[in-house]
Amino acid sequence: ACMEAAKKAGGPIMVTFSRGGGQFIAGKAADNTDDAACIAGSVAGALHVRAVAKLYGVPVILHSDHCQKSWLPWFDGMIKASEEYFEKNGEPLFSSHMLDLSEEPLEENIAICKKYLERMAKVNLLLEMELGVTGGEEDGVDNSNVDSSRLYTQPEEVWEVYQALSSVPNGNFTVAAAFGNVHGVYAPGNVSLKPEILHNTQKFIKEKLGCASDKPVFFVFHGGSGSSTEDIQYAIKAGVIKMNID
């Protein structure tokens, strides 16, 4: 259905697998020791999309959604599948993976992300990392009652990430910074976004780098549902290249 819609709309499309979705594909009765079913289902889904996409003639980006620290076996399994696929085909099975360590201390978040990016860069996989906390609930992770101050990422935090990850040879990464965005479905006007945080961060990092680009960081906008058209457009102007909606 997704690829049919992409063909009708003149695609491309991004197909995203969650950990729970991977397990569902494998079947809930499948042995999930060390996330085996989550891995097998996600990999099988990616291979299915690759095979079927050819019939629709649309470009497809294969992505995986939030992976917290306790789910790293799932993350490792998908990367291993891409490494094996790369050896045979010269490209990774997936296009990108989202590593959400926003609940961990900043230093640990950055260190683990850098470790994975060093591995992923060797097979041309993009890493999406998260800073701050996106409110609401998604895939079993509930941030509904989080301290509101954690909903807004600071420019200095993004700069720390940029310094670490941009040092990885061939490393490609995006940053899901928090600027008041919330997971879930909301009517427009019920979400208090501050996309100026992204603009200020780009300006801050540009000055640190002394570069010509006004948008040195590629941002991701999580929890886009309920956002006004104006806020979305303003966020895109700040360097958002991907937006998640529920």
| Active-site residue list | 65
Query: Residue 22 is encoded by which pair of tokens?
Result: 């991977």
CA distance 205 to 159: 6
CA distance 6 to 239: 24
* Residue whose entry in the numeric block shows the structure tokens 């063909």: 7
Closest CA to 69 of 22, 104, 23: 104
Neighbours of 47 (CB within 10 A): 14
> With the C-alpha atoms ordered 71, 19, 122, 118, is the resulting torsion angle positive or negative?
negative
Strands (E), 42-193: 60-64, 96-99, 126-130, 137-138, 141-142, 173-176
> With the C-alpha atoms ordered 34, 38, 41, 43, is the resulting torsion angle positive or negative?
negative
CA distance 42 to 114: 23
